[in-house]
Structure 1
Amino acid sequence: MKQKLISGGRYKGYSLHSFQKDIISGIIVGVIAIPLGMAFAIASGVKPEYGIYTTIIAGILISLFGGSKYQIGGPTGAFIPILFGIIMTYGYENLLIAGFMAGFLLFIMGVCKLGSLIKFIPKSVTIGFTSGIAVIIFIGQVPNFLGLTGVKNHEYFLNNLNEIIKHIDSINLYSLLTAGICLITILYMPKLLPAIPSPLIGLIVSTLVASFLFPTHIATIGSAFGDIPNTLPKFEFPALSFERIQQLIGPAFVIAFLGAIESLLSAVVADGMTNSKHNSNRELIGQGIANMVTPMFGGIPATGAIARTATNIKNGAASPLSGVIHGIVVLLVLLLFAPYASKIPLASMAPILMIVAWNMSERHVFYQLLKAKTEDSFVLVITFLLTVFFNLTLAVGIGLILAIIIFTKRMSDIMVTAKALPNPEHKQEKVETQIVTDSHDCPQISIYNVEGPLFFGAAQTFQQSIMNTINYKPKVLLLRMGRVPFMDITGESHLSSIIKDFSKHGIVLISGLNVQPKKVLIKTGLYQLIGERHFFEHTGDAINYALLHLNKDKCIGCKHFAFRECAALSGAYDLVEEKKKVFNA
């Protein structure tokens, strides 16, 4: 039996055996994170060492302060087009400031307990922009894979695609061979040596082949970016100013939004794999701290990495210490082996990112949503296309607006307002809509079944359904609202209009009012205007009250017999049997 070292919090039941498992998983994930960190940095338009700095600092801080026991943080593929766009528009120094501001926003989101709001983003939107980002990353690596020369990087997809087509005749066969070796190794090595990270093996094998056989015929990290220093950069606080904050608030929001989604999605994946539960607000706080500190050391924005988190779990991680160890491993590699990393060919990095893009594309889910041919399919396609051909900010904005419009339409379609009466054939005289006819409808009491949320998307239809059908002026209007779960201020406004108009000549009764709508009516004063005596828990009590307030003279001779009391009120007992026969027929 292993000795327990810690007994509380996220380390409850932690033992020496747990620590051993954390060391193993931390080392493995750290080794995987090194090539990914450099690749993500290069693809984002910055030097590869900045990706390593981010992996070290953000990786350690996210594990220490985040809300998931197993989360591995660092640079991710999802950020590539965002960061590249910021670099092209504002420059590297302003990217650091935008990253710092995004960290502050994430921290505030966590403190304000907004972590749970991320779940309200529709799947069609997240899959749409994730797949779009995957396409951008994949196509963006084609020049390095083929070794094209003279290719200029642009912010927009079509411009980059045009650059590839324009320079396709400059293919470097040495780059193509190097990239091919790395790709084949990544794809097939897991079958031969599953315990060793295949991207690392692919990187080492292809680098060795290129270094010994054709060292001068292929672009490397050193030739493109200079040698990678084996030290951490000096601490430097971002040069904030009011003008820069105004200029970069938009990019900061995009980074924070994407970082929140990615980190919480990764935490949810970890929960599913470990049957655990993360703290979403604490996770945002941890992400915020990491993204505020990392830019002070030259690092780029970071978030939770789904693939590395899954690898961490599969290799036996027991606590957040595995993430801390993963950062320390990367630091040790930087200090000891940085000069060797400069010899890595750019062609060796391309297949790694292409595999990342392929895995993050969510192609199976994309196809399923597309195949469904619903409104969600439309949102998916629009978000995807806008992400690829424009930018993530526009894509997510339009995608969310479309999703809200579609949701509003669906909710308004659910809203049903129909006249109803007690069914005499039912044992408990259940109030139903289908039995109301021209010859079977009380002239003095109008009962309406109201079903569905009474909100801005359905409120006008609700009002029109009632006002247009009351072409006569009944004495009592009874609204059965037991199936109205929610009411907003627009719904209250339309209900108020009905009540104020009808109350000029009659009485409004409401039965079965739920808690949330009741609170709204009380806050707006409409509850007091209607009068507490006009609210009933049960429809039967409301009907009994209504019958006491009828004009008895108008009941004499009435042949509708809408209620069981009508026979006595009309003075026509001999017509009751005839009415039942007509109704049954």
Structure 2
Amino acid sequence: MLRPKLLTLIKNRPEEFSSRRVLKDLSAGLVVACIALPLSIALAIASGVTPEKGLITAIVAGFIISLFGGSRVQIGGPTGAFVVIVYGIIQQYGLAGLLTATIMAGIFLIFMGVCKFGSFIKFIPYPVTTGFTSGIAVVLFSTQINDFLGLGLTDIPSGFFAKWGLYFHSLGQINWAALAVGLLTLAIILFWPKKWKAFPGSLAALLITAVLVGVTGMNVPTITSTFGAVDSTLVMPHLPGAVSWDTIQNLMRPALTIALLAGIESLLSAVVADGMIGKRHRSNMELVATGIANVASGLFGGLPATGAIARTAANIENGGRTPVAGMAHAVFLFLMMLCLMRWIGRIPMTSLAAILFLVSYRMSDWRSFKALFKAPLGDVLILLATFTLTVVFDLVIAIEFGLVLAAVLFMKRMADVYQITNTDDDIMDEVRRKDDIDTKVIAKHVSVYEINGPFFFGAATQFVETLEHHKNCKVLILRMRSVPAIDATGYHALERIYNRCKDDGVQLILSHVQKHVRKTLEQYGFIKLLGEDHLCRNIDHSLMRAESIVKDRHSIAE
């Protein structure tokens, strides 16, 4: 159903918007805004853009995702998963290329939602998502070493090993004051009292370290000293310059990657939220809302956006239960941007790096990563391949390779499950107990094979190899009661066996064909080719039909 959750609640559950409920949502929105403020700034800087870009994303996209989304409590905005992608796009195509790719990704997401792809995205294998998420966490961590240690490096290579090689060669340039402020930031966040959750530790750490650096005059780089004055204005929506067809073609892969990652993260966040509040989200509407949010974010000069799991959980924990909380969080962020931007520029860069260290740690989900080593070897290979390719190369290659490897593994597993066995001996035991079937005729002239498992292209070769060497007989019965599906390659293999039987003068009978498989065979015209009388409802009917065929041949021969 493509209807925003907010609209449904207003129409069907007006009691959800009582003054008491709205006040709780507004309170939750304020807390989430306090959490989102430092994160949005840190993620923007890590992505290679100015701080206000992160705030613009959280404000514009966050409001739209709550307004049009399919979840009650989803909080949208920039997330750590996009840092690597955004940084790479900016390095290759510039800011205009990033904005164009974000808008394109939004259009793709809207298309995916309208076409009801929401349920399909959920089928991406868990080792793939865990692998690239952990890989992104490692890459994000590595990008913050320069600011955390205060090395002052300006021309840092993009390659993972080259980057770390430069870090090790530059250890003599550590700014000990910056390192001390960074460690203080980590300590404040880690030991901040949990009962003070209305005022997050990350925000407290930024305020304390900014005041400390300002009062003491320590030689620690800040946002202003690094980027200059921070802009606090929200520009009117506009297209990111002239866009050519060549540019669109070049940005197709990055845009698709943004769309896929945004869809996965949004739906994953919505599923987690459902489990926390005992409700259900609308996956396709969530994709549409995320798409609209990304289009709007690109037009306003922001970054790619998606549902943020940590901020969504914080919203729920603080009493948010309707989309009002997410919309309020965006409004509060806008007010903070207008009123506090002149002081935001005084935040130390090492403090932002410390916050992103913790974001990386939470993203890595090392417990899930470790637990997957107990899985079958194929899943472990998918995990390690996706993780390694994300770290060493890029996310696009990692996702593509991970999905292909997972698909190949799935086909192998299905082919391993698939079986085709000769059941002549078992059938003869049944025939001997029946008075209406001629035992001698069945034993001498009829062969029965049973197929177990989906009849798809991974099993087609095995099927053909088995049946092309069947013993000399006059009737071949394929027992298909355990075949739930058949694809084009499976049908081609079946047609090949039919033609082989026809050339050898063997009659082919299909027994107990399931409804879905029969419909597919009818579409191909195979039922008409085979003949309705050669399609039997069960094995008894098939054996009687086989006996009739053999006796008719004998009578004709005589």
TM-score range (shorter-chain normalised) is over 0.9
Provide closer, same or farther for how the CA distance between residues 105 and 9 of structure 1 changes in structure 2, counting only shifts above 3 A: farther
**1:363-403 C-alpha deviation (Å, 9 max, x unpaired):** 11111112335200000000000000000000000111110
User: Residue 437 of structure 2 aligns with which residue?
Assistant: none
Match of 2:458, SS state, is: coil
State the 1:73 CA deviation.
0.4
State the 1:413 CA deviation.
0.8
State the 1:427 CA deviation.
11
**1:531-585 C-alpha deviation (Å, 9 max, x unpaired):** 1111111111111111222259999xxxxxxxxxxxxxxxxxxxxxxxxxxxxxx
User: Residue 405 of structure 2 aligns with which residue?
Assistant: 402
Residues of 2 paired with 1:429 and 1:299: CA distance?
A: 77
* Contact 1:176 1:347 survives alignment (8 Å): yes
State the 1:296 CA deviation.
1.6
User: Residue 273 of structure 2 aligns with which residue?
Assistant: 270
**1:496-548 C-alpha deviation (Å, 9 max, x unpaired):** 11112113412111111112211221111111111111111111111111122
User: Residue 245 of structure 1 aligns with which residue?
Assistant: 248
More helix by share: 2
Query: TM-score by structure 1 length?
Result: 0.89
Provide closer, same or farther for how the CA distance between residues 423 and 462 of structure 1 changes in structure 2, counting only shifts above 3 A: closer
Counterpart of 2:377, as a letter, is T
Q: Which has the higher contact order (CA 8 A, sep 6+)?
A: 2
1:45 lines up with 2:48 in the alignment = yes
Provide closer, same or farther for how the CA distance between residues 537 and 413 of structure 1 changes in structure 2, counting only shifts above 3 A: same
Q: Which runs of 5+ in 2 are unaligned?
A: 1-7, 435-439
Counterpart of 1:344, as a letter, is I
Counterpart of 1:226, as a letter, is G
Q: What is the correspondence of 1:142-221 to structure 2 with a 5 Å cutoff?
A: 142-191=145-194, 193-215=196-218, 217-221=219-223
1:84 lines up with 2:87 in the alignment = yes
Counterpart of 2:235, as a letter, is P
State the 1:443 CA deviation.
2.8
Residues of 2 paired with 1:466 and 1:10: CA distance?
A: 62
State the 1:9 CA deviation.
4.9
1:340 lines up with 2:356 in the alignment = no
User: Residue 30 of structure 1 aligns with which residue?
Assistant: 33
Match of 2:227 among 225, 228, 234: 225
Residues of 2 paired with 1:373 and 1:214: CA distance?
A: 56
Match of 1:458, SS state, is: helix
User: Residue 490 of structure 1 aligns with which residue?
Assistant: 489
* Contact 2:419 2:452 survives alignment (8 Å): yes
Match of 1:375 among 375, 378, 394: 378
* Contact 1:151 1:167 survives alignment (8 Å): no
Counterpart of 2:77, as a letter, is G
State the 1:152 CA deviation.
2.3
Provide closer, same or farther for how the CA distance between residues 16 and 192 of structure 1 changes in structure 2, counting only shifts above 3 A: closer
Residues of 2 paired with 1:252 and 1:7: CA distance?
A: 34
Residues of 2 paired with 1:84 and 1:429: CA distance?
A: 74
State the 1:327 CA deviation.
0.3
User: Residue 422 of structure 2 aligns with which residue?
Assistant: 419
Residues of 1 paired with 2:75 and 2:159: CA distance?
A: 30
Match of 1:91, SS state, is: helix
Provide closer, same or farther for how the CA distance between residues 260 and 65 of structure 1 changes in structure 2, counting only shifts above 3 A: same
State the 1:457 CA deviation.
0.7
Match of 2:141 among 138, 142, 148: 138
Q: Percent identity?
A: 41
1:458 lines up with 2:459 in the alignment = yes
* Contact 1:40 1:75 survives alignment (8 Å): yes
Counterpart of 1:223, as a letter, is S
State the 1:46 CA deviation.
0.3
Q: Which runs of 5+ in 1 are unaligned?
A: 431-438, 556-585
Query: TM-score by structure 2 length?
Result: 0.93
Structure of higher CA gyration radius: 1
Residues of 2 paired with 1:355 and 1:166: CA distance?
A: 25
User: Residue 513 of structure 1 aligns with which residue?
Assistant: 513
Counterpart of 2:182, as a letter, is A
* Contact 1:37 1:75 survives alignment (8 Å): yes
State the 1:423 CA deviation.
5.5
Provide closer, same or farther for how the CA distance between residues 511 and 440 of structure 1 changes in structure 2, counting only shifts above 3 A: closer
Counterpart of 1:242, as a letter, is W
* Contact 1:174 1:214 survives alignment (8 Å): no
* Contact 2:83 2:140 survives alignment (8 Å): yes
User: Residue 530 of structure 2 aligns with which residue?
Assistant: 530
Deviates more, 1:199-208 or 1:310-319: 199-208
User: Residue 3 of structure 2 aligns with which residue?
Assistant: none
Counterpart of 2:122, as a letter, is K
Provide closer, same or farther for how the CA distance between residues 9 and 53 of structure 1 changes in structure 2, counting only shifts above 3 A: farther
Residues of 2 paired with 1:428 and 1:53: CA distance?
A: 80
Counterpart of 2:360, as a letter, is A
Provide closer, same or farther for how the CA distance between residues 194 and 324 of structure 1 changes in structure 2, counting only shifts above 3 A: closer
Residues of 1 paired with 2:408 and 2:136: CA distance?
A: 25
State the 1:162 CA deviation.
2.1
User: Residue 542 of structure 1 aligns with which residue?
Assistant: 542
State the 1:51 CA deviation.
0.4
Match of 1:108, SS state, is: helix
Residues of 2 paired with 1:262 and 1:372: CA distance?
A: 23
State the 1:154 CA deviation.
3.2
State the 1:471 CA deviation.
3.5
Provide closer, same or farther for how the CA distance between residues 440 and 26 of structure 1 changes in structure 2, counting only shifts above 3 A: farther
Counterpart of 2:474, as a letter, is K
CA RMSD of aligned residues (A): 2.2
User: Residue 350 of structure 1 aligns with which residue?
Assistant: 353
Provide closer, same or farther for how the CA distance between residues 508 and 343 of structure 1 changes in structure 2, counting only shifts above 3 A: same
Match of 1:250, SS state, is: helix
**1:74-117 C-alpha deviation (Å, 9 max, x unpaired):** 00000000000001111111111111111111111111111111
State the 1:231 CA deviation.
1.9
State the 1:7 CA deviation.
5.0
User: Residue 314 of structure 1 aligns with which residue?
Assistant: 317
Provide closer, same or farther for how the CA distance between residues 7 and 330 of structure 1 changes in structure 2, counting only shifts above 3 A: closer
State the 1:190 CA deviation.
3.5
Count of matched residue positions in the alignment of Structure 1 and Structure 2:
540
State the 1:150 CA deviation.
2.5
Deviates more, 1:417-426 or 1:301-310: 417-426
